[in-house]
Chain A
Amino acid sequence: MVVLEIDKNDLLNLIGKQLTDEKIVETLFLIKIEAKINENKIECELNPDRSDMFSVEGIAREMKGFLGIETGIKRYDVTDSGIILKKQKADVRPYIACGIIKDITLSDDLVKSLMQVQEKLHMTIGRDRRKVAIGVHDFDKIVPPLVYKDVDDEKFVPLGKTEEMNIKEILEKHPKGMDYAHLVKDNYPLIYDKQGVISFPPIINSERTKVTENTKNLFIDVTGTDEKTVNQVLNILCCNISERCGKIFSVKVSNRITPQLEPKEMSINVDEIDSTLGIGLNENDIVENLEKIRYYVKKMKGGKIMVGVPAYRSDILHKIDIIEDVAVGYGYNKIEPILPKVATIGEQSELEKFSRKIRELMIGFGFQEVLSFVLTNRENNFVKMNVEGNSVEILNPSSSEYNTCRTWLLPNMMKILSSNKHREYPQKIFEIGDCVLLDENRETKTKEIRKLAAVISYDNANLTEMKSIIEAVLSSLGYKYEIKEYNHPSFMESRCGEILVKGKQIGFFGEIHPKILENWQLEKPVIGFEIKVD
């Protein structure tokens, strides 16, 4: 989620129409934005896909379309500035695109919006500046021609400083340098004009070309590791700023002109649109709805339409994305839900069905069901139970309490008993749950095993009582089982048994060893069992 704070009056000025708070919130909701209005502030929650709406200008443009104030595509004229940027060897961030916006009025609203949109673009499609980074300069302080290249060192005054610093000093001492030093190593991409460095992407601009309250013309550089995204970000910035003020001028970057704001065309079958949406729209409805979302549409022969996609839309990968916008234009609130006729037979999975039967049996024996986390730690899963074993390990656990997956359920039963010592006894609890074991032969190198574990604890808890329950469970499930003596380090010697079905061990039971009771600070005897259920 991207959270944006915009100014209500600014938004309404850009739209050019007064709207009630209710209407604003409702309209935003229908164009993918969840909004809350607090006096003059609108807090917007956006999905990360519509990066063109990461500024108030983009939101206003979209709202004007949806409300029918200004529909169809917005054309952005681009004039050649005659400025040239020469790209030399630039391997660190191989792609660069630049644009110029002239005759701007640097109002507080624009400054705020410009800072916000840069931050949001960096965070989202810019992947925290790794994929794309933006620099904005005062164009009049730049002395062309420009050069973009990798160097191994350089000295310049970075933004916010008065002294020259070399690259190493910037990366170690400048706050932005410290934040983003991990994105550059050994070679450093720099943009030069005739007088020296203007920008060190993705870290910092130069102090010399910084934007001030007197700035009339903006120069924007966008660099990155993915050409398409670099261009998209420049397009969004140029289009959105010019919604408010200014004229867009292009820069010749090596042999390419940027920005290129011509719409991209996509052809779609009209039939395909309504067969996906099921709303019952004809061609005219479709055209009208797409124009509300700021596309242009040309009717073609053979039941097709040609849709022009605005240059600021970075989220259109496939015609299905345009089909969604037909529904958005129509209004999700107007679509009547309907159920299809897909005749199918409902069924629970065998494992869940079986688990459910076991659950009901255990409840019949008076056990309270508990539910615990799959995640645990080795201390609980092994050490406190006096057993050794292997389990998976999480690379980035959010807490050392939960850095592996349980391999069995009894430890959690013990944990629950130990947090209920003040509760009435007898305590009889069970859990049915998945445990995760290592298994080199599987696709995921692990396997999950569904298990049942139960414990009884009170002054006179005894093995006979539990054995009766185990046998009742097993025979209710129709198992032909054998019970044999067994040694398990969690249980008292010679007070433990294993349960075998067709000669294979499916589980064990016994009286928990006093040492283990001590580990869990338990003072009453505990009888437990654990079996596989699959």
Chain B
Amino acid sequence: MYKLTDEGKEYLKNGLPEKQLIKFIENEKSLEEVSKFPKAEIAVGWAKKNEWIIIENKIVKLSERGKDVIDKETDLENALEEIDKKGGTNKELIKNLLSRKLIEEIKEIKKAKKPSLWKRLFSKEKKAEVKGEIAQLTPDLIKSGEWKNKTFRKYDVSAPAPRIYPGKKQPYIQFIEDIKERLIGLGFQEMKGPLIETSFWNCDALFIPQDHPAKSLHDLFYMKIPSKGNLPDENLIAKVKATHEGGWITESTGWGGIWNREEAKKLVLRSHTTAVSARTLFESKDKPAKYFTINRNFRPDVIDAQHLMEFNQCEGIVIGKNLTFRHLLGFLKEIAEAIGMKEVKFKPGFFPYTEPSVEGYVKHPTLGWIEVLPAGMFRPELLRPLGVEKSQVLAWGIGIDRLAMAKLGVEDIRMLYSEDLGWLRKVPLVK
């Protein structure tokens, strides 16, 4: 259903401006005279488009077609009448009238009211309607100084303006960038590692036993193509093998059994960013440093409101002599603050590659105590084979999806990768 706008109603009564214009021209008029016609801007435009007038040497003449329609009701005028009575007419004409803002769709009353207000303010049709008032300051008016003689229409600042959307960073990316900034501020250097990893770097180098449940098909994505990668240098392999089997020089009992190199070659989708830490340690050895990465990991979950098969971790390691467990807690507290959580509590935890291990909980304003800071000191069985001989390494791998959800105020984890442009456009910047 459609109804006439105020303009539409006026034109139904007095005729369309272009129709009034050709009546005014009769045969021919100078351009100067025509320009004084009340709705000249609109009228001339449409008359020209309809090929009712010809403008030559500053003279406006009626064309044959113009002369033809001068005394007839045009289709558009009929359409206005029909809509006024029945609320509809043929589609083409509706499109035309809608584009000229002479009619509007009747939706909910609330919605229909507001646009009509701004249409009244911004519509070209309306522009020349109020005599002597000007809506827009133009370069001509400024240059000629004529603005001094004009009255400018009051701008209704309370009237709604059309909505536009800025280009924006994706909200989760904004969140990640903010954390990165804090970590860089704390002296952390960003490290990188591949998404597809050998089991060697994802598990074996971390002293995860080869028969560990975390390596089952339910917990780790294995690759079919390509299925196996290359192992790094043999020297490292020999140390890792010896450590798994009997502890090597680390004073550990090891896991026992036989360590299988073929198992270590299997390619997987990285299941934790700790794999990146292992690679980094192998490069940096005992050099004092702080590293971080915030990156994607994978696990064979089925997607629903709480689970995705891709998740982000914020991994950090601190390498140095004389580092202690207390220092680790210090960093965890600092990181909690970096993500806006002041209160922290610590529970002893377990991870195959850290000892002592800790699970840090933060007090979230709405979610209460949540466990987000799994951390520990890397075990000697991990460090020695990688060539870290004299240092302690503090490490953590924070699952940041949940924190991001809390920050963005979303309850469905899928929203972190939302495809909904409506939401992406409207969601406020992350504080």
- Report A's interface with B, CB cutoff 8 A: 29-32, 34, 47-50, 124, 127, 131, 226-228, 275-279, 315, 317-321, 323-324, 327-328, 332-333, 335-340, 342-349, 351-352, 356, 359, 362-375, 392-399, 402, 405, 415-416, 419-420, 423, 427-429, 434, 436, 438, 440, 442-448
Distance to closest chain A CB from B211 (angstroms): 6
Q: A367 CA to B421 CA in the complex, in Å?
A: 11
Contact of B169 among A32, A363, A423, A436 (CB under 8 A): A363
Contact of A344 with B379 in the complex, beta carbons under 8 Å: no
CB-CB under 8 A for A32 and B229, given A318-B251, A345-B187, A372-B419: no
Name the residue of chain A whose CB is nearest to the CB of B307. Answer: A398
Distance to closest chain B CB from A332 (angstroms): 4
Contact of B288 with A344 in the complex, beta carbons under 8 Å: yes
Contact of B247 with A446 in the complex, beta carbons under 8 Å: no
Q: A124 CA to B302 CA in the complex, in Å?
A: 23
Distance to closest chain A CB from B282 (angstroms): 12
Distance to closest chain B CB from A33 (angstroms): 9
CB-CB under 8 A for A226 and B309, given A277-B324, A349-B192, A374-B195: no
One digit per residue, 1 when the CB lies within 8 angstroms of any chain A CB and 0 when it does not, for chain B 143-172 equals 000000000000000000000011111101
Q: Does B79 reach chain A (CB closer than 8 Å)?
A: no
One digit per residue, 1 when the CB lies within 8 angstroms of any chain A CB and 0 when it does not, for chain B 198-242 equals 100000000000010100010001111111111010000000000
Name the residue of chain B whose CB is nearest to the CB of A279. Answer: B326
Contact of B310 with A375 in the complex, beta carbons under 8 Å: yes
21 sample A-B contacts, Cβ–Cβ < 8 Å, listed by A number: A30-B348, A276-B392, A277-B324, A277-B325, A278-B327, A279-B325, A337-B326, A337-B333, A346-B187, A359-B173, A372-B419, A397-B300, A405-B195, A415-B419, A419-B419, A420-B422, A423-B425, A440-B226, A443-B198, A444-B229, A445-B196
Contact of A366 with B302 in the complex, beta carbons under 8 Å: no
A-B pairs, top 7 by smallest CB distance, nearest first, are A278-B324, A47-B350, A346-B184, A324-B356, A337-B329, A278-B326, A445-B226
CB-CB under 8 A for A346 and B185, given A340-B323, A443-B198: yes
Q: A373 CA to B211 CA in the complex, in Å?
A: 30
Distance to closest chain A CB from B92 (angstroms): 18
Contact of A444 among B267, B325, B333 (CB under 8 A): B267
Contact of B302 with A275 in the complex, beta carbons under 8 Å: no
Q: A85 CA to B169 CA in the complex, in Å?
A: 70
Contacts of A320 in B (CB 8 A): 355-356, 377, 379-380
Distance to closest chain A CB from B193 (angstroms): 10
Q: A277 CA to B177 CA in the complex, in Å?
A: 33
- Chain B residues touching A, majority SS: mixed
Contacts of B254 in A (CB 8 A): 317
Distance to closest chain A CB from B324 (angstroms): 3
Contact of B323 with A347 in the complex, beta carbons under 8 Å: no
Contact of B221 among A32, A351, A368, A394 (CB under 8 A): A394
Contact of B419 with A393 in the complex, beta carbons under 8 Å: no
Distance to closest chain B CB from A51 (angstroms): 11
- Considering only residues 296-330 of chain B, those with a C-beta below 8 Å from chain A are 296, 298, 300-303, 308-310, 318, 320, 322-327, 329-330
Contacts of B170 in A (CB 8 A): 368-371
Q: Knowing that A342-B187, A342-B288 touch, tell me 17 more A-B residue pairs with CB under 8 angstroms.
A: A277-B325, A277-B326, A317-B247, A320-B380, A324-B357, A345-B187, A346-B184, A346-B189, A368-B167, A368-B424, A395-B222, A396-B221, A398-B302, A399-B302, A402-B309, A405-B269, A420-B422
Distance to closest chain B CB from A57 (angstroms): 20
CB-CB under 8 A for A371 and B186, given A30-B348, A339-B331: no
Distance to closest chain B CB from A154 (angstroms): 29
Name the residue of chain B whose CB is nearest to the CB of A432. Answer: B173
Contacts of A370 in B (CB 8 A): 170, 419, 424
Q: A362 CA to B217 CA in the complex, in Å?
A: 40
Contacts of B322 in A (CB 8 A): 275, 340
Contact of B348 with A349 in the complex, beta carbons under 8 Å: no
Q: A356 CA to B290 CA in the complex, in Å?
A: 22
Contacts of A396 in B (CB 8 A): 217, 221-222, 300
Contact of A318 among B223, B230, B250 (CB under 8 A): B250
Contact of B356 with A327 in the complex, beta carbons under 8 Å: yes
Most chain B CB within a 10 A radius of its CB, from A31, A346, A349, A423: A346
Q: Does B188 reach chain A (CB closer than 8 Å)?
A: yes
Q: Does B48 reach chain A (CB closer than 8 Å)?
A: no
Name the residue of chain A whose CB is nearest to the CB of B180. Answer: A348
Name the residue of chain A whose CB is nearest to the CB of B222. Answer: A395
Contacts of B228 in A (CB 8 A): 445
- Considering only residues 111-131 of chain B, those with a C-beta below 8 Å from chain A are none
Contacts of A443 in B (CB 8 A): 198, 229-230, 232
Contact of A423 among B189, B302, B421 (CB under 8 A): B421
Q: A373 CA to B420 CA in the complex, in Å?
A: 14
Q: Does B417 reach chain A (CB closer than 8 Å)?
A: yes
Q: Does B139 reach chain A (CB closer than 8 Å)?
A: no
Contact of B168 with A369 in the complex, beta carbons under 8 Å: yes
Contact of B355 with A342 in the complex, beta carbons under 8 Å: no
Contact of B330 with A347 in the complex, beta carbons under 8 Å: no
Contacts of A359 in B (CB 8 A): 169, 173
Contacts of A448 in B (CB 8 A): 194-196
Contact of B350 with A48 in the complex, beta carbons under 8 Å: yes
Name the residue of chain B whose CB is nearest to the CB of A394. Answer: B221
Name the residue of chain B whose CB is nearest to the CB of A444. Answer: B229
Name the residue of chain B whose CB is nearest to the CB of A228. Answer: B256
Contact of B187 with A343 in the complex, beta carbons under 8 Å: yes
Distance to closest chain A CB from B286 (angstroms): 13
Q: Does B289 reach chain A (CB closer than 8 Å)?
A: yes
CB-CB under 8 A for A392 and B225, given A276-B325, A444-B198: yes
Q: Does B398 reach chain A (CB closer than 8 Å)?
A: no
Contact of B300 with A445 in the complex, beta carbons under 8 Å: no
Contact of B168 among A124, A317, A368 (CB under 8 A): A368
Contact of B355 with A318 in the complex, beta carbons under 8 Å: yes
Distance to closest chain A CB from B205 (angstroms): 13
Contacts of B309 in A (CB 8 A): 373, 375, 398-399, 402
Contact of B349 among A47, A278, A369, A393 (CB under 8 A): A47
- Considering only residues 327-377 of chain B, those with a C-beta below 8 Å from chain A are 327, 329-334, 344-350, 355-358, 371, 377
Contacts of A352 in B (CB 8 A): 180, 190
CB-CB under 8 A for A318 and B225, given A339-B334, A416-B421, A427-B421: no
Q: Does B252 reach chain A (CB closer than 8 Å)?
A: yes
Q: A120 CA to B102 CA in the complex, in Å?
A: 75
Contact of B188 among A344, A415, A423 (CB under 8 A): A344
Contacts of B217 in A (CB 8 A): 395-396
Distance to closest chain B CB from A390 (angstroms): 8
Q: Does B253 reach chain A (CB closer than 8 Å)?
A: yes
Q: A445 CA to B252 CA in the complex, in Å?
A: 33
Q: A315 CA to B355 CA in the complex, in Å?
A: 11
Distance to closest chain A CB from B65 (angstroms): 29
Name the residue of chain A whose CB is nearest to the CB of B165. Answer: A368
Contacts of B165 in A (CB 8 A): 368
Q: A342 CA to B226 CA in the complex, in Å?
A: 41
Name the residue of chain A whose CB is nearest to the CB of B289. Answer: A344
Contacts of A321 in B (CB 8 A): 355
Contacts of A328 in B (CB 8 A): 348
Contact of B189 with A393 in the complex, beta carbons under 8 Å: no
Q: Does B22 reach chain A (CB closer than 8 Å)?
A: no
Q: A334 CA to B227 CA in the complex, in Å?
A: 48
Q: A127 CA to B209 CA in the complex, in Å?
A: 12
Q: Does B183 reach chain A (CB closer than 8 Å)?
A: yes
Contact of A369 with B347 in the complex, beta carbons under 8 Å: no
Contact of A275 among B324, B348, B420 (CB under 8 A): B324
Contacts of A335 in B (CB 8 A): 325-326, 329, 346
Contact of B169 with A333 in the complex, beta carbons under 8 Å: no
Contact of B310 among A124, A362, A373 (CB under 8 A): A373
Q: Does B381 reach chain A (CB closer than 8 Å)?
A: yes
Contact of A50 with B421 in the complex, beta carbons under 8 Å: no
Contact of B167 with A363 in the complex, beta carbons under 8 Å: yes
Distance to closest chain A CB from B206 (angstroms): 14
Distance to closest chain A CB from B71 (angstroms): 38
